[in-house]
């Protein structure tokens, strides 16, 4: 069996220069002109990147089998639509970074409970994903003048994105923190932010960069997939309310869904593995629910399920290294 490439090994080339160029085009000429630049690039990427294209087709074929009513297939045409959806998401990212999005461009579901927590000075952990467009969370930062948001990301380019954000929005209350592993220092830093009433967003749908931290195998879109345990363990250490966060583009608007997930995640040592398994399955079920709402906005262009299959076939031990903060 050919070993699949881990998502973290798919490097983003020329990110700093490329994003600055695209953002400049967007600011000078608007969305329509930017599409003239972006669509050919994405089309070329779709043609030459066989691995991403095949992963897209495999995912869409899985969706077609799991939810036939969505009328999708694993065809090249459906895959191309998938990539064009990604191109539009990039444009939306640029709009969010430049401050071009306003509250009028965004709709919310379930935010009242979260706002009530914030008004009491209570911070919270938001479990995000690579479904939809988390960059629109910039707009969330303007719901309240005192609100600050920290996003944990695995990309090496977090500092570059921070500089780009600050250049065009110096008063931004959004901060990106790059992490390759969750350590005691990470836990202390985030605990401090939660204590100050801030929001911490953690993506919970990709296995660790170093492939050594703990994972759980759960059901997702009709097959077993690996999800990281780290975000959930970290959220439990924060001892604060936990919500899920999904931002989907629907009918021309960005629709942000907040759902209460737990008052406080707890994983007793006695039955920790079972509790983690049940919690992560609960998250995977929510992710699946929203994925079926807008399947073309799932932007994981790698074989999301292959690691679970290979670990079964190779007899790999999943629980290799415990989080250093435990």
The larger pLDDT score, comparing residue 139 to residue 68, is at: 68
Angle between helices 230-238 and 272-293 (to 10 degrees): 110
The larger pLDDT score, comparing residue 161 to residue 250, is at: 250
The larger pLDDT score, comparing residue 205 to residue 212, is at: 205
Q: Find the helix or strand (DSSP H, E) in which 179 lies.
A: none
In this prediction, residue 48 has a pLDDT band, given cuts at 50, 70 and 90, of very high
Angle between helices 50-66 and 76-98 (to 10 degrees): 100
pTM above 0.75, yes or no: yes
Residue 37: predicted pLDDT:
83
Residue 315: predicted pLDDT:
41
Residue 10: predicted pLDDT:
41
What tokens does 270 get?
């006695």
> What value does the CA radius of gyration of the chain take, rounded to a whole number of Å?
19
Q: What is the DSSP letter of 134?
A: G
Rounded (to 5) percent helix, strand, coil in the chain: 50, 20, 30
* CB-based contact 27:98 (threshold 8 Å): yes
Give the Å distances, CA to CA, from 287 to 154, 247, 291, 302. Answer: 19, 11, 6, 17
* CB-based contact 172:179 (threshold 8 Å): no
Residue 145: predicted pLDDT:
57
| Mean pLDDT, the chain, integer | 81
Q: Which of 149, 148, 210, 141 is nearest to 179 (CA)?
A: 210
In this prediction, residue 159 has a pLDDT band, given cuts at 50, 70 and 90, of low
Helix residue ranges per DSSP H, the chain: 15-29, 31-48, 50-66, 76-98, 111-119, 137-140, 158-168, 184-195, 230-238, 272-293, 306-314
Query: Which range among 45-49, 90-94, 179-183 shows the weakest confidence by mean pLDDT?
Result: 179-183
Residue 143: predicted pLDDT:
53
Whether the per-residue pLDDT at 67 is higher than 80: the answer is yes
Which segment, 63-67, 139-143, 163-167, is predicted with the most confidence on average?
63-67
Whether the per-residue pLDDT at 3 is higher than 70: the answer is no
Query: Which range among 87-101, 194-208, 264-278 shows the weakest confidence by mean pLDDT?
Result: 87-101
Measured CA to CA, the distance from residue 170 to residue 28 in angstroms comes to 19
Mean pLDDT of 238-257: 94
Which segment, 1-10, 25-34, 310-319, is predicted with the most confidence on average?
25-34
Query: Which range among 113-122, 173-182, 257-266 shows the weakest confidence by mean pLDDT?
Result: 173-182
Residue 1: predicted pLDDT:
43
Which residues are CB-neighbours of 185 under 8 A, at least 6 positions away? none
Q: Is 317 exposed, middle or buried (0-12, 13-18, 19+ CB in 10 A)?
A: exposed
pLDDT digits (tens, 9 = 90+) for 272-295: 999 999 999 999 999 999 999 999
* CB-based contact 233:283 (threshold 8 Å): no
What tokens does 131 get?
């479904």
């Amino acid at each position: 069996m050919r070993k699949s490439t881990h998502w973290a090994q798919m490097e983003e080339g020329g990110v700093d220069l490329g994003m600055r160029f695209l953002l400049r085009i967007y600011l000078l000429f608007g969305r329509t002109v930017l599409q003239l630049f972006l669509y050919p690039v994405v089309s070329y990427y779709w043609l030459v990147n066989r691995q991403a294209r095949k992963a897209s087709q495999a995912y869409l074929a899985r969706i077609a089998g799991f939810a036939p009513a969505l009328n999708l297939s694993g065809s090249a045409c459906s895959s191309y639509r998938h990539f064009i959806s990604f191109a539009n998401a990039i444009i939306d990212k640029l709009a969010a970074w430049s401050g071009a999005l306003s509250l009028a461009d965004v709709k919310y579901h379930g935010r009242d409970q979260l706002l009530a927590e914030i008004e009491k000075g209570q911070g919270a952990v938001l479990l995000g994903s690579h479904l939809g467009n988390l960059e629109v969370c910039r707009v969330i930062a303007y719901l309240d003048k005192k609100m600050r948001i920290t996003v944990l990301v695995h990309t090496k380019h977090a500092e570059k994105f921070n500089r780009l954000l600050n250049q065009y929005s110096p008063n931004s209350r959004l901060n990106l923190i790059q992490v390759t592993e969750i350590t005691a220092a990470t836990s202390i830093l985030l605990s401090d932010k939660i204590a100050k009433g801030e929001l911490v967003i953690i993506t919970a749908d990709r296995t660790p960069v170093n492939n050594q931290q703990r994972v759980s195998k759960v059901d997702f879109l009709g097959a077993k997939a690996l999800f990281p345990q780290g975000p959930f363990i970290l959220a439990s250490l924060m001892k604060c309310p936990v919500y899920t966060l999904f931002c989907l583009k629907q009918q021309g608007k960005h629709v942000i869904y907040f759902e209460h997930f737990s008052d406080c995640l707890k994983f007793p040592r006695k039955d920790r593995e079972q509790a983690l398994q049940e919690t992560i399955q609960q998250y995977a079920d929510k992710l699946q629910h929203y994925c079926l709402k807008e399947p073309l906005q799932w932007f994981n262009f790698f074989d999301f399920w292959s690691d679970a299959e290979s670990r079964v076939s190779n007899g790999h031990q999943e629980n290799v290294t415990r989080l250093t903060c435990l």
